[in-house]
Amino acid sequence: MSAPPKNEGKSPWLSEVLTTLAMATGVGYLVVSYSISRWLTRPIRRPPQMTPSDLGLNWEKTECLTSDGIRLAGWLVEPAQPRGTVALFHGMRHHKEKMLPRIAFLSAAGYRCVAFDHRAHGESGGKRTSFGFHENRDVIAVLDLVRKRWPRQPRAGLGVSMGAAAICFAAKQLRDLDAVILESCYDDIGSAFSNRLKNGFPTWYKRLSRGVVWVSERRLGLRLRDLVPAKHIGDLAPAPVLLLTGTDDPHAPPMEAQHLYEKCRGPREIWLVPGAGHRDVVETGGSLYRHRILDFLARRFSISSACMTRLAG
């Protein structure tokens, strides 16, 4: 979640007064809560400003359809002799082009990359976003596409923030993944919501948090208690999981990454990226980040390839 845009023309005391007046009645409280809920879950539509062409990569557009009928728009970047496929899932308020820095080094290392806009983001369909809960259907659709097109090659899922949560929510429906990478994943939406209220939102907004949650639950057809990746991450087993988060991430702090790590039931690894926040893991991690991701994939895909060879023999 991102903070609402600040109105430069209003002073803090005026915002406080207006909010107090709006909340003076139950109707006013609900109206303001509904408005903020709509803002938080609104579509983020725009065509990409950059494509893999800007990195000198060969690519093609691709699409898939989710189980609830939403069209997802994506990119396929394929090196000459792919070692396997990595499906990349972006965070909230972002788009597939946010995955370009990862696509660049992954494709250079020989990995086929598939990146889609989540529902209500970028060029995909859908009326609203749901913090990763309904986006689990996006993850399932994309990984089904990968499995059907390249059935005998290793495959991995890499999710960032909301994309990582969506992978967790889809865990029971995912089959035969050879590796999972979860970046900046929140432990549960309640803590994520609280963390965001403490960082970047105006102080008066905190008084509306319960109303915003109540309205959002009804608009999205879910309950806050269901938005807990920690309850689902264990279902990714036996796929090995690599958890990454920044040491300075205020939204998905290291303590929550450690809790997710403890909930994993299969092979697991964790790395806290020194000095990184919520949105700059790739940039701050630099060569260490790239080495960690590529080493994890190489080890896990190597094991998978060896197993496939034995089965074929």
| 3-state DSSP helix/strand/coil % of the chain, to nearest 5 | 50, 15, 35
For residue 223, name the pLDDT band (cuts at 50, 70, 90). Answer: confident
Residue 190: other Cβ atoms inside 10 A = 14
Tell me: the pLDDT tens digits for 3-40? 444 444 445 555 555 566 555 556 677 877 777 778 87
For residue 312, the model assigns a pLDDT of: 43
| DSSP for residue 50 | -
pTM: 0.86
Sequence ranges of the domains in the chain: 10-41+190-226, 52-188+235-312
SS3 86: strand
- CATH class entry, domain 52-188+235-312: alpha beta
Share of the chain above pLDDT 70, in %: 82
